[in-house]
Chain A
Amino acid sequence: DTEVTQTPKHLVMGMTNKKSLKCEQHMGHRAMYWYKQKAKKPPELMFVYSYEKLSINESVPSRFSPECPNSSLLNLHLHALQPEDSALYLCASSPVISYEQYFGPGTRLTVT
């Protein structure tokens, strides 16, 4: 298994909702990442987990809450989002923290 999977593919949520994005990999990678990509913009790093511990938080608002329950799974909990948070959320993994990262297909999030 050499892929990173993300669910759901699409998500529409209101500003008062709570939802979660899920990312899974079974390549034995110990580093996992969340990126945000707005239309016609490059992906921007949000969080990095290394060995299930949060390693980097790129000054992301607290309405985004990451969680790494085990080495294969990475969640992003969403609460009280704003319409400007609508974007493609990409998950990636790598054997350890490094530049060669394997990306999932992303979750397209729309906040209404």
Chain B
Amino acid sequence: QVQLVQSGAGVTKPGASFEISCKASGYTFSTHSIYWVRQAPGQSLEWMGWINAANGNAKYSQKFQSRVTLSRDTSATTAYLTLLSSTSEDTAVYYCARGFGGYGAFLDFWGPGSLVTVSS
């Protein structure tokens, strides 16, 4: 069965960077892109970017383009999100999700989410 297991972040200080990992299992990692979506407290879902697990190419939301890096390790079947220069507005639950299809993909499996709290 498809599983996405997330780890990382937690509490981080303003101005610091943080990384969240997303380990995939139950399918061939390189055949699906990994999407990253965040949800601030009480807010809607916000797309941050996606990475092609086969070739490592990434597409970023314009909002996060300068501060986010997506990467993956195919041997570890793991995708990573790194966010730089965090502020309190980055406090959110961060989800990774598997994309199905090309452009206009839907997200068929989601990780449980990683809570990141940016606070001094």
**Does A associate with B in a complex?**
no
Interface residues of A (CB under 8 A from B): none
Interface residues of B (CB under 8 A from A): none
